[in-house]
Structure 1
Amino acid sequence: MSASAAGAGFVSSLQGMRAVAAIGVLTTHVAFQTGMVGTPVLGPVLGRLDLAVAVFFALSGFLLWRPHAEVAHGTPGTRAPGLLRYARHRVIRIWPAYLVVVVVALLLLPDARGDSSTVWLANLTLTQIYVPLTLTAGLTQMWSLAVEVSFYLVLPFAAVAMRRLHGPRARWRTPLVLVVGLLAFAWAPISEMFPLTPGVSAMGWLPGHLPWFVAGVLLAEVVAARDSGRRPTLLVRFGARRGPMAVVAVAAYAAACTPLAGPTGLGAVSAAAFVGKIALGAVLAFALLAPLVLATTRHRLLDSAAMQALGRWSYGIFIWHLVMLSAVFSLFGIVPFDGSMPLVWVLTALLSTGIAAASYGLVEEPARLWLSKREAHRRTDARTSITPETSAARQPTKQTATSAGN
């Protein structure tokens, strides 16, 4: 979101990978707004760093699906979170810091000031990908967060649908996940045949990006199957090897820098190019994450203190960096699209990291701690509510159940 990769707990290298993805998103936006994406060779490489979003989506797929996979495969001591607890944690994780950014951007950025109530409502509720022309200055990257929230909503239903595939039947979960991922590639051609109102593209909704989440869900299933004691498959043995996975990742990224994945700017994207980008992004995300969750050795760079800190602040970097980029142009008198990427990148990265650290310390962490304390109080209240009288009242029921079981 350290435990070793083999454990069911926190995988610290994934925290470092969050930092890499956040820096990638920041870099590609700086490259675009300084005009660097138009340069030969380097331009497409910088412009295609938007595939960092694929890594974010795969991380969500892995981390949120893993408890369900572990329960299905019979990993000892695991249980899936309840629906209400899951919903509370998702809301607290996303909205408090996000709402601050939205209000600041819509009130202070010159290009966003005066936006309609529709823009406000769509951005505050993360529904801007469904409402025409509501992506606004400083917040255009939030389309991916809207897609992620859609995944949050769908995941519990998917878990219920696969609940019967447990124990010996759990071996069918991985093939089913793969089939769902492959079927999702049909979404782009279908949505292209049935266009919606101008300003809204169904191609970019959750079904279109589902293979990126599936890359993480697939890893969760593979890890759970391995941890349950099953014999490691070829996918596990190959995925744990950093060298081969690095080759796959580089090859996928290089292919994505070609017309196979469509333009790196704001040009129209055909369904074929969209499918190409999604497919290559899924391969890239899987190749980057697989060694981190399947290998048993630590990753020296991603596990470093600096990357762990950036990983904790990565959400703040993601949601704040376009506001900071706008501030850099205004405060330092830099003209957009003039090629001054190194200076703009350094200033934007420093400002974004600083405000992200503040967001983590002042908003994100306090909100998380508040929720943790509230849940702890709820558990304490539940335990103390079992008085001697109620405990005695429950005892015959327990005995009856035991007798019936025998």
Structure 2
Amino acid sequence: MNAMIAVMKKELLDLFRDRKTVAISLLMGPLLFPALILGLGKLASNRVSTQLEKPLELPVIGAEHAPNLVHWLSGRNVVIKPAPANPEGEIAAQNIEVILMIPAEYADKWRGSEPAPVEIWHDSSRDDARIPVERVSGLLENYSQSTGALRLLSRGISPTAAQAVRVERKDLATAESRIGQALAFLPYMLILSGFIGGAYLVIDATAGERERQSLEPLLATPAARGLIMSGKILAACVFGMLTLLLTLLSFKAAFMLAPSLGIKLSLSWLQIAQMLLVLVPIVLIGTGLLTVIAAGAKSVKEAQSYMSILMMLPILPTIILMVNPMKNALWQFAVPFLAQNQMILKIVRSETIGTAEWGVYLACGFGMGAVLWWIAARRYHNEKLAVSA
């Protein structure tokens, strides 16, 4: 144990001598992530409020066919615009978000008390057109319901007679679960930070020392090679957990400023402690996996080339859950990356994590970390490890 602690101290001391690298690792992530999230959140909030409150400019094709409808829309914060010469081209060029088309048959259908057709032209692949389209759809539905009710009253029929079922929605989502929905991005950022938090130290302590030919004298010491490797992994885990702690604290500080920006986000100290516990296995897994890979690399550049591939692993669960949402199942807490994603989402949503879920997660997480640790130890017994070429 003394040898392992000595190696750990040596690696951390070497790392902290490179102040620029330490500053980038410990400050850039914790400062950049919260600033990015709050900035994007504020931008999205301003965009939504602006699109909902500002007058809606609505080009209308065939406005002369429905003067009452056009007049009604004008009184509801809608600015009626003349129809463009090439409506499809204007929408494709993103010059216009939504167009209302009223066909010539509208007037005849209206006078015959039949459903009068209208068309909403838009590009569903454009996210910036979503709110204007919803505003137009909502206004038209309101107009249709109001006019239909007046038609029934004119015939001596109660408007409620046409409503066989009245549907009411009861939203059981809590304030905490809504915050969890807004923080759906958080698991990926934290998992990625924990997974590669000690990457620089691991690469420098293995491939870097091998390239500098300083690994051979270290392996020639009386200390067991497994303990030398363990000291290096332990140092990387310490640095990775320090990075995670600073990242979580920066999120905590940033979310305290969020209400002043119109964003409702929060993290309690208990949630921070729980997330740190959840992320310990992923730090161990990432450090062990990178140690195994970097131990076989002949140079720092070769070891760094694997980082682009490894960085894809934490994002896979996020992509899978976006495409194919799944209900929580016990087996999910045994799958690396997916387990961390599910655990962090439950924490930010303030949902109860059962004893079985904690047990499966910690057992499988630490178990996989221990397996990677053992594999790395076996790699350090390879005599070719000390040879740089």
* TM-score normalised to structure 2 length: 0.28
Highest relative contact order (Cα 8 Å, sep 6+), 1 or 2?
1
Answer with 1 or 2: which has the greater Rg.
2
* Larger helix share, 1 or 2: 1
* Larger strand share, 1 or 2: 2
